[in-house]
Structure 1
């Protein structure tokens, strides 16, 4: 495993501020990696997005620093041949078998000076790279991919901020960190079944209960039978598995909350009380699939709560459980989609 203690990020006037942002935020918030920004002279720079940034160090200081990863953002100056002053640092780090991560225009800088001639790499486009770097001889190694990792150089296109961050995190095994992995899964979708966004509206046939925790447990394996029977009697076409919707449930045994138990159906019909059938509107939520027995659902909720806290999301008091697959004889095969509503 490659060691990553110190990451230096090169900043310059006109640098594309979004390109290193995700990588920097992930490492800063969820790991103990030390992030140091530097410019050629250590003086403030203005990014392409007009952010005035005060770097922490100068190139002179970086040349004597202990650096494990150097991130080179893109930007028009890079494509136009500027910032060659940083190349001795690039060469020095490669000789020490450290890692260079270049994105967008920074790949052109590396190509202009032969660093990509003999390694797998990518950029914004193969032909564009040839135009920006007339001396470039690495066309045979070019890969049409958002991000490419070679032993010591990571490259990415300017639209591949997420792939760039993932390549860095993967290269240094940082995704073994559960908090970083969960947070990052919302950007790249790598955490199967974990999502953040608004659901689609759907038609829902259900019965509403006012209950507490003990009363809720009495409804397991009984209430849904009645829902199926009533849906058939109402001549409704069922189009999905059972769902439990919680309003105001806080996990405390004595708290009385509202619980809707029902089924998605293909249309809305008038039904007799106490049954209801309506179209539920889009639902903004964070969700995760729980695989296994329901007595371990608390673990999945805990992961979601942790991720929401890290992301600064506030709950709205409405939660859904969608039973995508359930097997009372083999509950370890259950698949439950948990959706926690957010503001």
Structure 2
């Protein structure tokens, strides 16, 4: 049963990037948020928060995964992780949505998840500069966030669009509610139902 939203946590992760999506997933009660570390050792985020991972990477149960989310962080520009790429391949083969933002988009490219799949990142030039062998340019979309099948990608400045695409893909809200969420967090438009 797909009951877990796994979120990779590591030293230097950009903690603000997955926060809104994780909040909406948790509030919905549809999936349990599970933090995944490379080990169970504490990690410290870019913002200085200390997180104790719930499980280690090798404990991820692909059959229980309803989402695997990769936040940005400098580690992705240093070559990423073979273990993460192997897991991403298994998740993708099992139809699990994978969401990557900012530098984590490099890892989904390395894992081959962008082959024939529309995606975005911080910029096309960013992908080409960091990954000289990047060959999926024809599927690159210059938008803040892109969802195509089971892949959701976003640029590092686009955490609200990222959350919007995730909640739509997971069907946490209907289209109208997802739109309200976007307008509220992006443009400060509070839905009328909250004003009563």
Deviations 1:65-90, CA, capped at 9 Å, x for gaps: 61110000111111221333211211
> Retained in 1: the 8 A contact 2:101–2:121?
yes
Match of 1:78 among 50, 73, 76: 76
- Is the 1:124–1:157 Cα contact (8 Å) retained in structure 2? yes
Match of 1:195 among 177, 184, 189: 189
> 1:83 & 1:149 partners in 2: Cα distance?
23
CA separation of 1:181 and 1:145: change in aligned 2, threshold 3 A: closer
Q: What is the CA-CA distance between 1:133 and the residue it aligns to?
A: 1.3
The Cα of 1:195 is off from its aligned counterpart by 2.2
CA distance in 1, matches of 2:153, 2:175: 23
Contact kept, 8 Å, 1:114 with 1:137, in 2: the verdict is: no
Q: Partners in 1 of 2:82 and 2:112 — Cα distance?
A: 13
Q: How does 1:128-139 map to 2 (within 5 A)?
A: 128-139=126-137
TM-superposed deviation, 1:141: 0.7
- Displacement after TM superposition at 1:99 (Å): 0.6
Matched, 1:125 2:119: no
TM-fit CA distance, 1:182: 5.2
Aligned length: 196
SS at match of 1:107: helix
CA-CA distance at 1:42 after TM superposition:
1.7
Q: 5 Å matches for 1:22-171? A: 22-63=20-61, 66-171=64-169
Flag structure 2 segments of 5+ consecutive residues without an equivalent.
none
Structure 1 residue 153: deviation in Å?
0.7
Evaluate the alpha carbon distance shift between residue 28 and residue 80 of structure 1 in structure 2; reply closer, same or farther with a 3 A threshold. same
Q: 1:301-332 deviations in whole A, cap 9, x for unaligned? A: xx225xxxxxxxxxxxxxxxxxxxxxxxxxxx
Listed as ranges, the matches of 1:248-267 within 5 Å are none
| Paired residues of 1:148 and 1:155 also in contact (CA < 8 A) | yes
Distance 1:52 1:130, change over 3 A: same
Structure 2 match to 1:9: 7
Given the two structures, how large is their TM-score scaled by the length of structure 2?
A: 0.90
Q: Decide whether aligned partners of structure 1 residues 62 and 72 sit closer, same or farther in structure 2, where only a CA change above 3 A counts.
A: same
- Paired with 2:41 and 2:178, the residues of 1 have a C-alpha distance of 32
Aligned partners of 2:128 and 2:181: how far apart in 1? 37
Instruction: Extract unaligned runs of 5+ from structure 1.
Output: 197-286, 289-302, 306-339
In structure 2, do the counterparts of structure 1 residues 183 and 107 end up closer, same or farther at CA, with 3 Å as the change threshold? closer
1:80-138 Cα deviation digits (max 9, x unpaired): 21333211211111111111000000101122343213210000010110111122210
Q: Which has the higher strand share?
A: 1
Judge conservation of contact 1:104–1:124 (CA < 8 Å) in 2: yes
Structure scoring higher RCO (CA < 8 A, sep ≥ 6) equals 2
Moved over 2 A (4+): 112-115, 176-185
Structure 1 pair 178–127 and aligned structure 2 pair: CA distance change class (3 A): closer
Q: Which has the larger radius of gyration?
A: 1
**CA–CA separation in structure 2 for the residues paired with 1:114 and 1:180:** 29
Change (3 A) 1:115 1:63: same
